[in-house]
Amino acid sequence: MTFFDLVRKNLFRKKLRTVLTTFAIFVAFLIFGVLATFQNALNSGEESASADRLIVTNRINFTLSMPISYVQRVAAVPGIKLVSHANWFGGYFQEQRNFLVAFAIDPQTYLDIYPEFVLPQAQRDAFLHDQGSIIVGKPLADKFHWKVGDRIPIKSSIFRKADGSDTWDFTVAGIITPGKSDVDVNFVAFHYEYFEQTRTFGHDTVGWMIVQTESPKVNERVAHAIDAMFANSPFETETKTEAAFNKAFTEQLGDLGFIVTSIVGAAFATILLIVGNTMMLTVRERTNEIAVLRTIGFTARRVFGLVLGESMLLALIGGILGLGGAFAFSFVLAKLLAGRLGALAFSPGTALIGAVLMATLGFLTGLLPALRAMSLDVVTALGRK
């Protein structure tokens, strides 16, 4: 019988106890995997941000607008390569539960600044030449079964048209695909000019500006110059790197990193006590058996390895099942939340952290029982009933 066979048979000697303990570990790793997947999705915008892009918003709050005249003034700042702008639309399709991330954009400059939003040339040209057209991310197109040429109504929870309607009709000109795996294309975008001509309020204003600098090295200087230009004006600005802006936007939902750490930490502390107590009980029950093993030639180190190996195997089984469950659950969540979050997928980084947690949990819960088994006095132990 091999060392592994002995560890496995010892672990499953009390099947019900092992199953219940494994289930507790499974739940802990399932929670970790699901929350980490959510965190990765929310952080995808920060991770995919370009180093040479800055975001300019109203200094008071990024939800407040700025005069569109700022765009040309910002474009004249030395070190800037290109400037675009966008407005939040507050869109939804048919019903409010079908929320859409919808922007009114300056088409040419926006697509030039974001080359990672991939459109076939024919679709790009069609979008640029038709003010009543819209481009949609592939996840949304798949979810709502939209295709190029479809006529779709998009409602707004914020704006109204001059005729009193809350619905804008668009023709789908193109379907956006991501140029990289971490790029989020869960949005729709349409012409700012069409939006400007039809809305009832907020004319000649933009929500935010996207600035592409000549080099990331000039970012700080350019940001300072932009904010200094509009200092003490009715619409002061705040300029951040795209990564910093995306991070601040995500934090509006709360510090998910702290939430994940707190919940997972509490879960693992509880599991640590449960599994540790189980392993101590196991060693106590096998006192005579361990003494016999020492008598027939098992060294103290080998006994130590048997007990620690049992704890490691227990953590490994529960952890793999938990991460496997989170991996499967991520596919379900991606379908249910298509268009509402970024790239919702179980990442290799999450699996790696999970593996480290498994090893840590197995080692910590098995160390004290293993040391106790290793230091057991054979004569005293054989005399116990």
Q: pLDDT tens digits for 29-88?
A: 888 888 787 777 666 554 555 788 999 999 988 778 999 999 999 999 999 999 999 999
- Which amino acid would we find at residue 371? L
- In a domain, residue 245? The reply is no
Angstrom distance (rounded) from CA 64 to CA 345 = 33
- Do 98 and 210 belong to one domain? yes
- In a domain, residue 246? The reply is no
- In a domain, residue 244? The reply is no
Q: 342 pLDDT exceeds 70?
A: no
- Do 12 and 87 belong to one domain? no
State which residues form the domain around 173: 60-235
- In a domain, residue 241? The reply is no
- Which amino acid would we find at residue 87? N
- Residue 244: its pLDDT value, please? 81
- In a domain, residue 259? The reply is yes
- In a domain, residue 229? The reply is yes
- Do 12 and 71 belong to one domain? no
Angstrom distance (rounded) from CA 313 to CA 345 = 27
Within a 13 Å sphere around the CA of 327, how many CA atoms are in the beta-carbon half? Answer: 13
Cβ(223)–Cβ(54) below 8 Å: yes
Angstrom distance (rounded) from CA 18 to CA 209 = 58
- Do 368 and 342 belong to one domain? yes
- Residue 65: its pLDDT value, please? 92
Task: State the first-to-last Cα distance of the chain, in angstroms, to the nearest integer.
Answer: 27
Domain count, the chain: 2
- In a domain, residue 50? The reply is no
- In a domain, residue 191? The reply is yes
For 270-282, how does the pLDDT look when each residue is reduced to its tens digit (9 = 90+)? 887 888 888 777 7
pTM assigned to the model: 0.65
- Determine phi and psi for 377, rounding to 5 degrees: -80, 115
Of 201, 235, 269, which residue sits at a domain end? 235
Read off the pLDDT band of 237 (50, 70, 90).
very high
Cβ(198)–Cβ(168) below 8 Å: yes
- Which amino acid would we find at residue 75? A
Helices (H) and strands (E) in the chain, counts: 14, 14
